[in-house]
Amino acid sequence: MPFTFFSGLNCVSHVRRLLNTLGNALNPLLNASGSISVLAQDLIPEAAYGFSTVKRWAFDVLYTLDPSRDKLQGAFLTNLYTAFTLGRLRQDGFTVHDYLRRIPSTTSWKQRHPRLIFFHPSGFQIYTLYDFLAFIDGSGDLAQGVRFFRYSESALP
């Protein structure tokens, strides 16, 4: 498999930028421009190879998201959602759904986003990212999405 970038470059930040640009192109603000839902991949001869690369990039971005670092906290959910959405374009082999629960920002206590930890009045902590992940990947329900946004809203300064 060919290397995508030269080793001297900051690959992940560049890939994050490229994925966000592709995400904006496939999900424009004006629906008259089209959207990801009307994308006909079979009409694009290079789509299979291109979306395989996008999927690989999405996995790289998801794995390297570290919301415990101040610099990455602001755009954490945007980068996570964009990488997840674009990683779903190619549903062959190991899918982004399988990968989502294994990324360090969901499994490591050290890489948790401090603003996504809600302290329940009874004294225990709730990491609301799990509700968000269940909501976006379809394994949860609307109530989990509402709970995530409610906790997030209460955590905003």
Q: What is the pLDDT of residues 52-67, one digit of tens each?
A: 888 888 888 888 888 8
Q: What token pair was written down for 36?
A: 């990801």
Query: For residue 104, which of 60, 65, 58 has the smallest C-alpha distance?
Result: 65
> Looking at residue 95, what is its pLDDT?
72
Cβ-contact 20, 82 below 8 angstroms:
yes
> Looking at residue 37, what is its pLDDT?
66
* Of 108 and 6, the one with more pLDDT: 108
The partner residues of 136 in beta bridges, in order of sequence, read: none
> Looking at residue 7, what is its pLDDT?
47
Q: What token pair was written down for 119?
A: 């302290």
9, pLDDT greater than 60: no
The partner residues of 118 in beta bridges, in order of sequence, read: 126
Q: Residue range 66-86: average pLDDT?
A: 81
* Of 157 and 42, the one with more pLDDT: 42
Q: Residue range 16-40: average pLDDT?
A: 74
Cβ-contact 76, 113 below 8 angstroms:
yes
Strand boundaries in the chain, DSSP class E: 117-119, 125-127
Per-residue pLDDT reduced to its tens digit, 89-144: 766 656 777 778 788 888 888 888 888 888 878 888 888 888 888 888 888 888 88
Mean pLDDT of the chain: 77
13-19 CB contacts, 8 Å cutoff, 24+ apart: 15/57, 15/60, 15/61, 16/61, 16/79, 16/83, 18/57, 19/54, 19/57, 19/58, 19/61, 19/79, 19/82, 19/83, 19/86
Instruction: Domain ranges for the chain, please list them.
Output: 9-104, 113-157
> Looking at residue 4, what is its pLDDT?
46
11, pLDDT greater than 80: no
Tell me the C-alpha distance between 96 and 68, whole Å. Answer: 22
